[in-house]
Structure 1
């Protein structure tokens, strides 16, 4: 029965309660649906009768009617599913798929995926893939919309971790020549990675490569990153070499993933192999590449190599973060190579890479450790001239260094300056100053400092300094 005839018959029902007559049949349907969806109001007679007399053919007319918004059709369809008692039939698979395909045609992908999940997953026992697949062709003859449907179905099965069914959908699409979306396939790879199924992921990736999927460097990088996270950098690099032969070219992101894994594991043999491959493919270093290598070399103690890379990076016009220079200066300082540390500091200032607190801390703490307090204080003055303030840690380090070198007067002056700035010196360095003052027979100054310490709760030192 056509929609128009249905509406004509509907007018003859319950003459004592005639429905509102509209000039357009679609308007009448729209009004009845609106009343149906208004759950807060009692159902008028014509609405209840409409639902009771609804049949599969009329339902298909409604959900495909271009004059009715798909959002209203979706709400109406969901209402029917939740109120089966008002109807004489249950919406069949064709109705489900027809509405889903319309949602995909109108790019309402989230709503479409929910409909697919409700049928393909929740009602899998009733509608297995073998039943759904051929029905889709009966509901739509647009290849693009059909492709969207099966790609969405693949994603739904993947999200629900029904991995065997993902393979079934993939194989069906390949046999039928249905266009596969690489992005959807890559999302499935990521889902397999989250499930820690590396071999499944590798098998699926090869199926992508051997099918009509236009595999991009993004999918390749996902697999390489997966190998590297699993500690199998060599396998990742070998996969890259194989894919190069198949025409899938790696980019800087792909190489950076491998280099980062090598650097963190201090696997410099494999790192050199990756660098050779990178050079062979003509992929240039970017700022991320340099950062990875510099951090890797400094963590391993190869500061000369890291320094070379920093200046190379700067010469290429890439922005060099002060942080990278600090890694090298700090490394040299820890090893006591203060001339090398100072040389890096001087060059970074010449190249207008501005030092920060951490830069000065690396140098000053290194000079204090080496007992070169004159050079340490010179950098304190430079630091002060640039408006960078000393904090408690640096004050205490300087005072401790001065005391070790017998420069008690300078240490005492710094401690007084520190107190004036509202900072508190460590009790350990205060004791060293007091000890020095006592040796110099400056008892009054020592007593004043002792009183300060006692007020801070250091009563245990009284016995040691009473004499």
Structure 2
């Protein structure tokens, strides 16, 4: 995870450096380039935090939401929570903190890092920081609560905070609550949120229903799923591919792979087309059933349909290929994944390396290790077996 975070950070920073605007002065780009270069090359996380704080003195740097997100994720993956607090608390000294959008960014980052207490503290401080709190920052706090898995706090925040702030929960607020109940496994409570929405005059949207579909299909409660589809139709909400992908994952999870195949075929001939996640569901299903030939056929089919494979595509196929001795294709897919910047879990790559060596394909194994080094995998995570 730490390796992936470092790679994402490096990829994003390189992109940022090459797209920096040059419309002000000729020294602007080199200055931003040097800031970004220093950040993504820094291996010492303490120094990274220090450099980040210095860099955030630039207003243009503070406008870059993604660089905040990638930096914090990198620190979170290494469990350096004190450094996250250090760099986010330092942002309070800038005038941006009086802008609700900037404050929401910091609250959300705390939530993504599992630091709800810090998110709540910042939210409570916003009035003293001259930042007006609206339903948007309330939603950010509620979402941070769910992201932090503080489910024992969620209902209290949702129930008490709106009246304290004199704000009315909106559809996003209710959708966050639906997600929270689904993640808690309280699916009946999630459905009841639709009634609460009706009482408040808030109309459910596609996200509301898709979240419910994911929850019920993941729990194999197909009878309730049909009721959600009916409610969606009554609400004049049209399903999208995410709706059908939830059903596909549910069918595959209970071994109904033939029904999943039929659904994908129906989608292929209709208005809503299957996407990479649809094909991934089939690949995982066939791999789970030990039907590798069908899994490979689906992979070939998605390429023909100009679908771009993603990390989960490769991570579903490569282990099965290695287990079944198809090391040549496993080697090819590992190379393809890195050329597409889909960085696989190091254990998947190591499994391919070990399999290649076992089959006396040492040259290919060494090539994979070499590619792993070039793509920032650590020497200990992907290596030649001793």
- Is TM-score (shorter-chain normalized) higher than 0.5? no
With normalisation by structure 2, the TM-score equals 0.43
Higher relative contact order (CA 8 A, sep 6+): 2
Larger radius of gyration: 1
With normalisation by structure 1, the TM-score equals 0.37
